[in-house]
Amino acid sequence: MGKKVVVTGVPGVGKTTVINGAMERLAAEGIAYETVNFGTFMFEAARRENLVTDRDEMRKLGKDVQKRLQKEAAAGIAAMSGDANVIIDTHSSVKTPAGFLAGLPEWVLRELMPDIVVLVETDPDQILMRRLGDPSRTRDMEGSRAIAQHQEFNRAVAAAYAMYTGCTIKIVRNEDFLLEQGIDDLVSVLR
Ligand code: AP5
């Protein structure tokens, strides 16, 4: 049975950047992993239904619609992942207009049963600057304090994921100028 590793972090913390670096390192060592982006699974379904035209619109959809898309994505990912080692790029929680929505509620955890949940974090000021420097995305306008609160909530809800599945929780720091250190930390749990 392969390892299932869920990698999470607030938008713009750099989780995809750290995952890509770790994948290159592991490929060089001959360790095979597949990566799956949970948001892309949801987005493809949402676009087919003409619900959104941009992935950043999804977190503004009604709560029940987001939950349905979430459930479909979890089932799709579980069906395709089989026995392979898989990294699932997603969110511990999603900030919606109605409040924080758990990224891995019980019906998602039951499908994925992760071995490890990784929280990619860094200082809120750095995340704010990364968001401002990325014109390709429609980021929510929020300050450092709100980003800090989102990171705190992500830790709290991750504790519930550990209680439910017995998975471990790994915190990986992805600080400015220290990307390689973040990649090293992620690689150490993926090996
Ligand atoms: P998703 O596609 O995951 O969106 P996101 O969180 O905004 O992810 P990004 O790829 O934009 O951010 P990132 O943290 O990966 O940062 P990146 O590496 O690009 O999700 C889209 C949507 O899907 C969600 O909004 C939600 O609606 C939905 N969704 C997903 N999962 C869900 C779930 N489980 N339940 C419900 N809904 C779900 O880096 C950002 C920038 O920082 C880049 O410019 C990069 O170069 C820079 N950077 C990175 N690291 C460093 C560093 N160390 N130093 C300096 N710059 C750095």
Q: Where are the domains of the chain?
A: 4-190
Q: Is 96 annotated as a binding residue?
A: no
**Model pLDDT, residue 80:** 86
Ligand 1 within 6 A of CB of 124: no
Q: Please provide the size of the chain in residues.
A: 191
ipTM score assigned to the predicted complex? 0.94
Answer whether 70 contacts ligand 1 (Cβ < 6 A).
Answer: yes
Check whether 9 is labelled as a binding-site residue: yes
| Tens of pLDDT, residues 129-155 | 999 998 888 888 899 999 999 999 999
The three-state DSSP-derived secondary structure of 73-135 is: HHHHHHHHHCCCCEEEECCCEEEECCEEEECCCHHHHHHHCCCEEEEEECCHHHHHHHHHCCC
* 133 annotated to a ligand binding site: no
Helix (H) or strand (E) holding 172: strand 168-173
Q: Whose CA is nearest to atom 33 of ligand 1?
A: 103
Would you say the CB of residue 9 lies under 6 angstroms from ligand 1? Answer: yes
User: What's domain 4-190's superfamily in CATH?
Assistant: P-loop containing nucleotide triphosphate hydrolases (3.40.50.300)
Residues 30-47: tens digit of each pLDDT: 999 999 999 999 999 999
pLDDT, residue 141, reads: 85
Q: Is the minimum distance from the CB of 21 to ligand 1 under 6 angstroms?
A: no
* pLDDT value, residue 1: 83
